[in-house]
Amino acid sequence: FQTNHLGPFVLTALLFPYLNREGSRIVNVSSHAHVFATLGKGSTKFGLDVDNLNSEVEYYGAGWPAYCQSKLENILFTQELQRRADDAGLDWLTVVTLHPGRVSTDIWRSTYFGLDRRGQRQSVAQEKISGKGGSLQSIVSDVFYSSNLPVEEGANTQVMLAASGERQGTLVKGQYFDEYMRLKELNDFARDKTMARYLWDKSEELAGIKFKII
C-alpha cells in the first residue's frame, strides 16, 4: 500500500503544480493482478478492502493479496484523478494506467523457475550441451520464460502512453491498457467511484497532505 500507492499518490500531488499546462499526462503502472483483489482472507468478493488498506488487520499469502490490492488502488487513483481534473476544467491533463505484462526481468530470480540448482538460470539446451541433462527446474524455467515478454519489450505500453498523443486516438483519459497497448474494459469493482473517492480521501489523511487540483 505505502510503496505502490501512497508514495506515488504523494509524489503526484507534490509534482502536480509543476505539470505543463499546455499538455501533460500521468501514466500509472498497475497490473492484471488487480482482478485478484478480494475483500479479505477467504473472501470470494472482489474490491477495495477498506478495512485492511495498510495491512493493519492481517498480512498473508506472502504479500500477494496486498500486492493485488495495491494494483487495484493504482487504477482507482487514476480514475479519480482524471475525474477531478475534468471537473476542474483541466483539459490539458490525461491520466492513464496499464498492465505491463509478465516480463523476463530479474524479479523472478528467487523463484523456482527463475533459478536452477546452481543458483543461476540455465536453459535445457545449455544443460544438454554441458552434459548435465535437462533438470525439471530448467524445463519449468524454459516454459515460463518462453511465455513472458522479453525485457526489451517490457516497457512498450508505458512508452506508447507517455509518447503518443490524443490526436492519434491512442490515449483515452482515465482508461486502462494491456501489455499489447490495447484498451481494456475493467470489472465493475475496478470502476467503483465511491471506493475511488474513499481511497483519495483516506490517502490524503494518511499522508497528511491535501492534493490540490488547480
**pLDDT tens digit at each of 214 positions of the chain:** 999 999 999 999 999 999 999 999 999 999 999 999 999 999 999 999 999 999 999 999 889 999 999 999 999 999 999 999 999 999 999 999 999 988 877 766 666 666 544 445 555 455 454 555 456 767 777 777 777 788 788 888 999 999 875 545 556 899 999 998 899 999 999 999 999 999 999 999 999 999 999 8
Query: With helix as H, strand as E and coil as C, how does 73-132 read?
Result: HHHHHHHHHHHHHHHCCCCCEEEEEECCCCECCHHHCCCCCCCCCCCCCCCHHHHHHHCC
SS3 183: strand
Cα separation of 56 and 45, whole Å? Answer: 20
**pTM of the predicted model, to two decimals?**
0.84
Instruction: Determine contact, residues 112/139, Cβ cutoff 8 Å.
Output: no
End-to-end alpha-carbon separation of the chain, Å?
26
